[in-house]
Amino acid sequence: MLNAAERRKLAETIKEVESRTDAEVVTVLAHQSDNYLYISTLWAAFLSLLLAPLIQLLPWWIEYSQVFTLQWLLFIALAVLFRWRRLTMLLVPKKVKFWRASNLARRQFLEHELHSTKNRLGLLIFVSQAEHYVEILADRGLAEQITDETWQEVVENFIREIKKNKTPGAFIHCVERCGELLEEAAPATVIKNELPNHLVVL
C-alpha cells in the first residue's frame, strides 16, 4: 500500500498529467474486491461432508450422532480458518478473483462518474491488491483514439513493477505513461478538474 507522502506525490502527478489533457484520470486501489465468504464456506462444508465416509474406513466404530457432531465441529473450525485472507485467496479460483475485481472496477468507473465527463474522456486506473489485478478503463472518447492493446501494454508494465515490490513507483510511472497517451489523444484545450486527483482507497 502507499503511505501519505506517496499518495501526495501520486496526486501531484495526476494533477500535472491532467494539465496537459482534456481527459480526467481517477486512480483506485482496493485491498480486495470481495470477501469470498461464500467460497470459503463452501469449502468448509465440502470437507466436513467428506468426514463421514472417511470415518467408515477407520478400524474403530463411531456412532452416527458422534459423526454428526464431529462434522459440525470440523465445519466451524474450517470456516473460521478459511477466513484468513491468504488462505482464502488460495481457495478462490483465479477466474473468479479476476471476475470479481473486474466487476468492482466497472462499478468504480460508474460511481466516480467517469462516463459523464465532457467528450467522454474519463480514464480509470484500478488496482486490487489481494487479487493482483490491474485494469485500465477508458471511456468512449479515449477508446476511439487509443487501442486496447496499448492500454494492455501499460498494464503489463505496471504489473511487472508491482511484482518487484515497487508499487508506489509503478503507480506513478503508470499515470505518467497514461498521461503521454492522453496528451496525444486529447490534448488540453480547457482548464478543468471535474474529478478528484487523490488516490481512492477502498
Asked if 153 and 194 sit in the same domain, the reply is yes
Task: Among 71, 91, 111, identify where a domain stops.
Answer: 91
**CA 116 – CA 119 distance, rounded (Å):** 8
**Residues 30 and 41 occupy one common structural domain:** no
Predicted pLDDT of residue 197: 67
E strand map for the chain? 24-30, 122-128, 133-138, 200-201
Do 113 and 183 fall within a single domain? yes
Phi and psi angles of residue 26, each rounded to the nearest 5 degrees, phi first: -125, 135
Q: Are residues 143 and 129 in the same domain?
A: yes
State the pLDDT at residue 57: 61
Q: Are 114 and 168 found together in one domain?
A: yes
Q: How far is CA 66 from CA 49, 53, 74, in A?
A: 14, 13, 12
Average pLDDT of the segment spanning 87-93: 82
pLDDT tens for 7-52 read: 888 888 888 888 888 888 888 888 887 787 887 788 877 877 777 6
Q: Are residues 110 and 188 in the same domain?
A: yes
pLDDT, residue 126, reads 92
Tell me the pLDDT band of 61, cut-offs 50, 70 and 90.
low
Query: What is the reported pTM?
Result: 0.78
Length of the chain: 202
Look-up: residue for cell 478473483? 97
Judge whether 16 and 32 are in contact, CB under 8 Å: no
Q: Report the alpha-carbon distance of residue 67 to residue 47 in Å, rounded.
A: 13
The residue to which cell 488496482 is assigned: 127
**Same domain, yes or no: 168 and 140:** yes
Give how many domains the chain has, as a whole number.
2
Per-residue pLDDT, 62:
60
113 shares a domain with 42: no
Tens-place pLDDT, residues 66-79: 667 777 777 788 77
Q: How confident is the model at residue 143 (pLDDT cuts 50, 70, 90)?
A: confident
Q: Which three cell numbers stand for residue 39?
A: 467460497
The answer to whether residues 164 and 80 belong to one domain is no
CATH (domain of 186): 3.10.310.50
Higher pLDDT, 182 or 1: 182
Sign of CA dihedral 161, 12, 200, 144: negative
Query: Residue 76 belongs to what domain range?
Result: 37-91
